[in-house]
Structure 1
Amino acid sequence: MTSTDDAAITVTDNPEQHRFEIHAGGVLAGFTEYRVREDRYSFVHTEIGDEFGGRGLASWLIKDALDEMRTRGAAVLPYCPFVKRFIQRHAEYQDLVPAAERAAFDIPQG
């Protein structure tokens, strides 16, 4: 990450609003929304504020959210195009998408 103080970046789950949020310097910089059904999280939308663009915050947000999904033992359905591309490009997260669902999201079977 460039031009942003890593210590000032935090990612937290906000279950009341069904989203993970990323804050930069205490200010909400963006979020990724999800829907939960049992142990499956469907990521449906990711948004970063215009004033925070170009800093890699969306990737940081998705990485932390997916790391949390792994910790929870949850499956991920990447309906959000950004989350889908992130998983396609980072093989270490592809196993979070259930094998039977990978073809629907163009995720390699690994």
Structure 2
Amino acid sequence: MNKVRENRAEQEFELDVDGHRAIAAYQREGERIVFTHTVVPREIEGRGVGSKLIRAALDSARDQGLRVVAQCQFVAAFIRKHPEYRDLLG
């Protein structure tokens, strides 16, 4: 599996796997990052792609000192399952 990268021009975190691209879309609002939706193509579902993508995105938010707004259900569920990221919410 490749490395997650941030595409600031498109406001997405991206992960390419086997010719398919998963994305976590966001909007920056000052010191907040609002995750709006996550897309993992059906062909690469069930392989931990979404979790790897969101973990990297949240780690990036932490590194940048950003507060996270989880409008995306996938991001919200990930944070519920991984309490070590709950401190980012706000």
The TM-score normalised by the length of structure 2 is 0.94
Residues of 2 paired with 1:58 and 1:66: CA distance?
12
Structure 1: give runs of 5+ residues left out of the alignment: 1-7, 99-110
**C-alpha deviation, 1:39, in angstroms:** 1.1
Aligned equivalent of 1:90: 82
Residues of 2 paired with 1:74 and 1:16: CA distance?
18
Residues of 2 paired with 1:28 and 1:77: CA distance?
26
Residues of 1 paired with 2:59 and 2:86: CA distance?
12
Report runs of 4+ in structure 1 exceeding 4 Å deviation: none
Aligned equivalent of 1:24: 17
Q: Contact conserved, 1:62 with 1:83, CA < 8 A, in 2?
A: yes
Question: Larger RCO: Structure 1 or Structure 2 (Cα < 8 Å, ≥ 6 residues apart)?
Answer: 2
**C-alpha deviation, 1:54, in angstroms:** 1.1
Residues of 1 paired with 2:9 and 2:74: CA distance?
23
Count matched residues.
90
For the pair shown, the structure with the greater C-alpha radius of gyration is: 1
Map Cα deviations across residues 4-28 of structure 1 (whole Å, 9 max, x no partner).
xxxx421000011111001125x34
Aligned equivalent of 1:13: 6
More helix as a share of residues: 1
What letter is aligned with 2:36?
A: V
1:56 matched to 2:48: yes
